[in-house]
Amino acid sequence: MKAGVLNSVHIWLVLAHGLFFFAGNILFAGARSSSNFSVSYDVNASAGARSASLNYLLVDVVGEIDGVSIAASPSIAAKHGFIGQLNETVGIQVTSTPATVDEGDETLVNAAAELDDGTTFRLLGTDVNWSVVSGPVTGLNALGVARAGTVYADANAVVRGAWMGFTDVFSLVVRNSASDNFGSYAGDGLEDGWQVQHFGVGHPQAGPLSDIDLDGLNNLMEYAFGLHPREDSSSQLPQAQRLGGDFIISFLTPVGVQGITHGIEWSTSLLPGSWNDVLNTGTAPQNQFVVPIGSNDKVFFRFRVTIP
């Protein structure tokens, strides 16, 4: 900081009913600056004076050191010599606690006024004009309580707060906390994200028993084995391998598939009532089934997929 230079100036006052003079000193401190702030000058006014710069204006002060110190980064202003610190609002900050919310749950959106000295103060929720900019927020009341909608995957939602001409936005994360609760796909046993990925939202043939590609495998079977429901994928089912007197069918449950039970049944005749369950001897995510051949000339087997 550069040292200031003190100068002396005399003040003369003329009153309406006589002449009066006062010889006093007003001490001016020279300009001071650094890489972060600048003070044009301060005034020690023993009998009242006026000082001004691009950064401040002081009028009628008595016996105080007055001025404005400004730091460029972060932007902070300190106003010296006042009974209290006078601040100006420069913006608002909108936040949420918590910032991640499960679908269907609520979170409180907060707003705080930003002051020119770098401090903030909390605003009442009812003082702020709240609105939803985008995303799965189904409600945002006057208190700033936001309700998350249902989603098929984690999604962002943007809310806005406005106060005294200032606005700010905040991005919430709505977490996909349930896999089968979205829109028209809710509760059908298939993972909502898989249905939206392959069919879009609200497709009439996205249900578990539909077979839009006519490959003989319904959507439930396609989902259970990680197949594409809109392409012929019947040849991509797990294949049996003969080992001695048995057929072995072994495969992994695809990543992301949940709520599914894989099974195999076998028969020697295909007749109703002739099908026998095969025990799954694998350890998740591995599935393994052993179909006995024995002395049979032919053995048939079929896959069975069940959902809760």
Q: For residue 266, how many other CB atoms are within 10 A of its CB? A: 21
Task: Give the Cα separation of 152 and 269 in Å (integer).
Answer: 43
What is the pLDDT, as a whole number, of residue 31?
Answer: 62
Q: What domains sit in the chain, N to C, each tagged with a CATH number? A: 12-80 (no CATH), 90-175 (2.60.40.3440), 238-306 (2.60.40)
Q: Strand, helix or coil at 86? A: coil
Work out the pLDDT band at 119, boundaries 50, 70, 90. Answer: confident
Which three-class secondary structure state does DSSP give residue 162? strand
Nearest alpha carbon to residue 262 among 243, 295, 237: 237
Q: What's residue 76's pLDDT?
A: 64
Which one-letter amino acid corresponds to residue 273?
Answer: G
User: Which class for 150: exposed (0-12), middle (13-18), buried (19 or more C-beta within 10 A)?
Assistant: middle
User: pLDDT, tens digit, for every residue of 175-213?
Assistant: 999 999 999 999 999 999 999 999 999 999 999 999 999
Average pLDDT, the chain: 82
Q: Is the dihedral of CA 34, 37, 41, 46 positive or negative?
A: negative
pLDDT in tens, 254-302: 998 988 999 999 999 999 999 999 999 999 999 999 998 888 889 999 9
Task: Please report which confidence band the pLDDT of residue 34 belongs to, taking 50, 70 and 90 as the band edges.
Answer: low
Q: What's the pLDDT score for residue 20?
A: 41
Q: Report the pLDDT averaged over residues 244-262.
A: 93
